[in-house]
Amino acid sequence: MDVYYIVIGFAVSVLACALLLITNKKGINENGRIEKIFALILFCLFFVRYMGGRDKLIDTIGLNIRSPFGVNGQSKTLLSVILMWFGFASITLMTTYPFFKGKVKSLDGAVKYFATPVFFVSLIFMGILTVAIDGAVAEESVYWRGIIYSAEVGFALGMCAYYFICNFSFRFSRKNFVVGFFIIIGMLAVSMPSYLFQVIFGEGSAAIKLKDLTVYHRIAIYGALLSPALIYFLFRRFDYEVKRYVLLFVSLAAMHSYCYGYTFQTFLNVTSWPLHLCNTAMFIVPLCLIFKWDKLFYFTLFINVLGAFFAMLMPNYSDSVRYLSAQSMQFWLNHYCAFFMPILIIALRIYDRPKLKQFIYSLIAFAVYFLVILFINAWFSNYGSVDFFFINSDFIADKLGQWAKNLRNVTIDFTAFGLRFVFYPIYQSLFFVVYVGLALAMWFLYEQFFQVADLYYEIGERKKKIRADRLALEVQLNGRSIDQPMNPNSQNKLILRNFSKKYNTSDVFAVKNANLEIDGGQIFGFLGPNGAGKSTIIKSIVGIQSITSGSIEVCGYDVEKQPIGSKLQIGFVPDHYALYENLTGREYVNYIADLYGVSNEERNKRIDEYVYNFNLSKAFDNQIKTYSHGMKQKISIMSALVHNPKLWILDEPLTGLDPESIFQVKECMKKHAKEGNIVFFSSHIIDVVERICDRIAIIKSGEILCEKSVADIENSGEQLEDFYMKTIGETHHD
């Protein structure tokens, strides 16, 4: 036993001294390069020891059956299995920490307050742990796996000592303690060895079966659906590196637990290789998270997830396997991870959402995998019973019925190089086609999931922005009510300050650096050719679309930060109105009045006035769907004015109206402006603009070319139409 402690002491001292000496030399440990190398060495020690043989502890059933400590060794068995469990989590932490140091700050505390004590306690109980690994004979002789384990513990302690002395900025606080506690609990939860429950509690009751869709089986399947949802909601708000580390830790810890029954000796028997589709996911997922192999990831997203789900529906272990046994735990751990890890990686945005190209690549990769497995199944069957991906037996056919079994009667059987090869062409081809069809169904389900997730994400981002805007608004208001305008000096103005808008689908600005200031009492004409940016500016003023940069104020209210306050000041007549045509005109206008909180007395007074001016008295109580275009336009105008807005915006309101209706609308605009309000009027009819507008602005290609008084243009002896054509023509000429 002294040999083990000598190895530990040597490993600790050599590693700690080496790290300290290297730290004092500039450039050698740049970006933690040396720490990463030592982490890889630690992993290699763990890998060699772990795969070098099967731990004797694994055969324990309920603390004392076949325990390496004998019938009376319950306490030693319990202590050793707990230390092995904690050791798995600590090794995973120590081998990944250098690669995420500084990116995931909570790891400092986990190394300091969790991994270090675990390795120190392992040092104290090294004798018990070597017996758990090599059996009772380890008390009398020194075995090579015990020496490797001693070096592993010593190496880890040396790294902990180095981090303790040099690299820790972690400060103890109540918050850090609580966060660290839950991090450690999470690490332990995902690092449980497959044999943990078997060793402590036994294999469980034979009455509880996790197959044949019993209630217990369904609970296990529901767990596979709920687990990713829980992880997603816990970590969705963290930054990229934190989420990537969490998923990497889970996948590595799960891979350790899954591999408990594999040794180097196992791989000498080709029939025991982990070539089942779901088995490959245990190795593919951590590789994709470490090396960012996107093409391999999309294979596991479309192919492994589907295979894992069907495997959970139809477990392929025998009825003699009990639910707490290591074999059962290994099966469910494997398929849980194969099922939800790829989905979580996409949901947490570690990888981009797959496109059709990635889906096609995954099907090509699956076709290659399928052909390789067909050949391997036929080849390895010469050395024993193999059934990788269940295409070499009637396991799936038996679930489908006799017709599927009959398909296996057609075979191709030949001998080559002294080996017999058997294929089932019809059955296996149909198997492939059906699986590809199911993968297409997965693509459809993913698309639906992505749409829901995007909607949820967008709602979350909007809520965050609303909270941030509200906080910024409260600061700027400096104690005033949030219902008051941000800029009380502009309560009768429309102001655009360096307003720019760029749509997500375009790299070109629809409007760039637009500046306008319009006072109350004016009718302001907005001119420009089609596609110039008029509607873009109007839609941003009324809040239909977002602002890329700059700001817009409506009567002192910031459109972005005070959207409700600004909308209450606006009446909007769009170029393409949308009315509830099953309502009557009166019902619709009253509905809009209700939205704005207009009192009955005020609305009735205004409605009567507009009904009289627009000659709608005979039709006002008829359904809107019976109205002409002009009548519908008048209803749209009435609903925009029923709350007497300070800013009335009209986007091409005269299109398609008869002369009488045009006259009525113009008179209404003049009256509204005369009362001190702003009328913002976009139109292609220059004659109308010239007759009723006080000022105009001309816009082209997203830039406001000029802002000018109509009177100034007339005083210059120039017609508005000529001035407009010259302005946009000169810009075109340049």
The pLDDT of residue 479 is above 80: no
The pLDDT of residue 560 is above 90: no
Dist CA 463 CA 451 (whole Å):
18
User: How many alpha carbons fall within 13 Å on the CB side of residue 641?
Assistant: 25
| pLDDT band (50, 70, 90) for residue 146 | confident
Axis-axis angle for helices 425-477, 326-347 (nearest 10): 50
Question: What is the predicted pLDDT for the residue at 652?
Answer: 82
User: How many alpha carbons fall within 13 Å on the CB side of residue 536?
Assistant: 25
The pLDDT of residue 600 is above 50: yes
As a whole number, mean pLDDT of residues 622-636 equals 90
The pLDDT of residue 592 is above 80: yes
As a whole number of angstroms, the longest Cα–Cα distance in the chain is: 115
The pLDDT of residue 304 is above 50: yes
- Alpha helices of 518-658 — where are they, by DSSP H? 534-541, 563-567, 585-596, 600-613, 629-641
Please answer whether residues 577 and 636 qualify as being in contact, where contact means their C-beta atoms are separated by less than 8 angstroms.
yes
Q: What Cα–Cα distance (Å) separates residue 684 from each residue in 204, 240, 319, 357, 480?
A: 82, 50, 80, 46, 42
Question: What is the predicted pLDDT for the residue at 731?
Answer: 46
The pLDDT of residue 718 is above 90: no
Dist CA 345 CA 232 (whole Å):
9
pLDDT digit string, tens, across residues 492-502 = 899 999 999 98
| pLDDT band (50, 70, 90) for residue 160 | confident
3-class DSSP state of 662: helix
Mean pLDDT of the chain, nearest integer = 86
Question: What is the predicted pLDDT for the residue at 530?
Answer: 85
Q: What Cα–Cα distance (Å) separates residue 432 from each residue in 374, 395, 412, 438, 444?
A: 11, 15, 17, 10, 19
Cα 677 versus chain centre, distance: 47
Please answer whether residues 292 and 179 qualify as being in contact, where contact means their C-beta atoms are separated by less than 8 angstroms.
no
As a whole number, mean pLDDT of residues 712-725 equals 88
As a whole number, mean pLDDT of residues 618-633 equals 90
Count Cβ atoms below 10 Å from residue 369 Cβ, excluding itself: 17
3-class DSSP state of 302: helix
Question: What is the predicted pLDDT for the residue at 24?
Answer: 57
| pLDDT band (50, 70, 90) for residue 733 | very low
478 compared with 88, residue with greater pLDDT: 88
Axis-axis angle for helices 600-613, 629-641 (nearest 10): 150
List CB contacts of 158: < 8 A, sequence separation 6 or more.
Answer: 11, 12, 13, 14, 15, 16, 19
725 compared with 302, residue with greater pLDDT: 725
358 compared with 673, residue with greater pLDDT: 673
For the chain, give percent helix, strand, coil, nearest 5.
60, 10, 30
Q: What Cα–Cα distance (Å) separates residue 249 from each residue in 32, 90, 101, 194, 624?
A: 20, 11, 14, 16, 63
Please answer whether residues 392 and 381 qualify as being in contact, where contact means their C-beta atoms are separated by less than 8 angstroms.
yes
Residue 160 amino acid letter: C
521 exposure class (CB count in 10 Å sphere: 0-12, 13-18, 19+) = middle
3-class DSSP state of 607: helix
- Mean pLDDT lowest for which of 19-23, 308-312, 433-437? 19-23
Q: What Cα–Cα distance (Å) separates residue 293 from each residue in 287, 525, 645?
A: 7, 57, 58
Dist CA 40 CA 166 (whole Å):
20
| CATH 3.40.50.300 intervals, the chain | 484-569+647-660+680-734
| pLDDT band (50, 70, 90) for residue 642 | very high
Percent of the chain whose pLDDT exceeds 70: 93
The pLDDT of residue 680 is above 90: yes
As a whole number, mean pLDDT of residues 203-219 equals 89
Question: What is the predicted pLDDT for the residue at 73?
Answer: 84
> Considering only CA atoms, which of 418, 420, 417, 423 is closest in space to residue 382?
420
DSSP state of 303: I
Beta-strand ranges (E) seen in 274-329 are none
Question: What is the predicted pLDDT for the residue at 167?
Answer: 58
The pLDDT of residue 405 is above 70: yes
The pLDDT of residue 179 is above 80: no
**107-121: string of b/e by CB count within 10 Å (b at 16+)?**
bbbbbbbbbbebbeb
The pLDDT of residue 734 is above 60: no
Please answer whether residues 155 and 47 qualify as being in contact, where contact means their C-beta atoms are separated by less than 8 angstroms.
no
The pLDDT of residue 144 is above 50: yes
Question: What is the predicted pLDDT for the residue at 390?
Answer: 86
The pLDDT of residue 732 is above 50: no
Please answer whether residues 674 and 522 qualify as being in contact, where contact means their C-beta atoms are separated by less than 8 angstroms.
no
Dist CA 384 CA 172 (whole Å):
58
Dist CA 660 CA 613 (whole Å):
11
Question: What is the predicted pLDDT for the residue at 96?
Answer: 93
Cα 47 versus chain centre, distance: 33
| pLDDT band (50, 70, 90) for residue 31 | low
Identify the CATH assignment for 484-569+647-660+680-734 out of 3.10.290.10, 3.30.420.40, 3.40.50.300, 3.30.750.200.
3.40.50.300
